[in-house]
Amino acid sequence: AQPGSALVALRPYRGQVASTAFDVDAKGRVAGYVRTDGQAFRLVTWANASAAPVALRLPPGYTVSTGVITGLRLGPGQSLVGTLIGPEAPNGALAVWRTPTALPKISRLPGSERQLPESVSPSGLLVTRRLGGDGPTYTLWRIDGERATLSGPLSLPRPSNTRNARPRAVSDAGRITGVINLDSSRSRVAAWSSTGTQPHLLPSLAGRTNVPAAINDRGLVGGHAYDDTGGVAVVWRGDRVIDLNTLLPANTGYQLQSVRALSNTGYALCVATNPSKRSVQLVFRVP
C-alpha cells in the first residue's frame, strides 16, 4: 500500500493455521507456503494480493519439509522454482513448475542437488543457497524456466583485496545484489548492474548487520538490518540506506522487519508485526 492508504493482507488458504510469503513480481503474483490445521505444509501462489491462494502440485513420492519449504520463487512467465525431497533426491533437488497447475520437472544436473532457490529473474538468472555444510554458500546460475536446464555457476567481479563475493538476489533485467566479504569479520552490501560489471559498495545502517534480499531494475535494493534488539526493513537507494519504518504513516501500530522481495514498480513484500504483535506479510509501496 502507498503511505496513507490501506495495507493489503494476503488471503488465507482453506484450513490455514499460518502462512508465509517469499516472493512478489511486477504482475502482483506472490509465492509462499501455508500450514494447515492438519499440520501439513503446502506450497502456494497468489495471482495477486487479494486473490485466493492456489496449491502447487507435487510429483508422486515428493514432499516439502521445513528445511526446503522457504525456497519457492517466481520464475520466467508463469513458472515457479523450488526445492523438493523425493526418492531420487533425499537431500533436495531443484524443481521447476511451468505453471502453477502443472507438475514440476525435477533437475538431476550435477551440482544442482542440495540447492535452495533464493532469487530468480524472468531473464533466467537464479541465485541458490546450498543446504547444509559449515555455512551458507550462495551460487549464481542461469536457468531455463521451460526446460529446467541450468548452466554455471557464474562468478561475480570483486575488488582484489577482498575475500569473496556472494550473490543474494537478481532483478528482472539482471541486476544483482549480494555481499562482499572484506575479511573474516567485515562485509559490505554490494550491487552489480550485470554479471560482468564491477560492484557498487552500499552504505550500512550504523551499528547493525546489513543483509540484502532483493533488487529491482532501477537499482533499488531491499533487505534488513539487525542487532541484538531485532531487525528493521531497509532499502538502499543510490548511496542512501533508509529504514522503511520512517516512511509509515503515524500511529499505524505496524513494525516492518524485513524486505523479502521488490517489484520494478517499487512494491516491497515485507515481513512485519501488526498492532497485536503478530507476524504478518504486507505489500508496501516505496515512494
Provide the whole-model pTM.
0.72
**More confident position, 119 or 81:** 81
For the chain, percent of residues with pLDDT exceeding 70: 93
Flag whether pLDDT at 133 surpasses 70: no
What domains, with CATH codes, occur in the chain?
Answer: 1-131 (no CATH), 155-287 (2.120.10.30)
Give the pLDDT band of residue 6 (cuts 50, 70, 90): low
Q: What's the N-to-C CA distance of the chain in angstroms? A: 10
What average pLDDT is seen over the chain?
85
Q: What is the pLDDT of residue 218?
A: 93
The whole-number average pLDDT for the span 253-276 is: 90
Give the pLDDT band of residue 2 (cuts 50, 70, 90): very low
Best mean pLDDT range from 4-8, 63-67, 241-245: 241-245
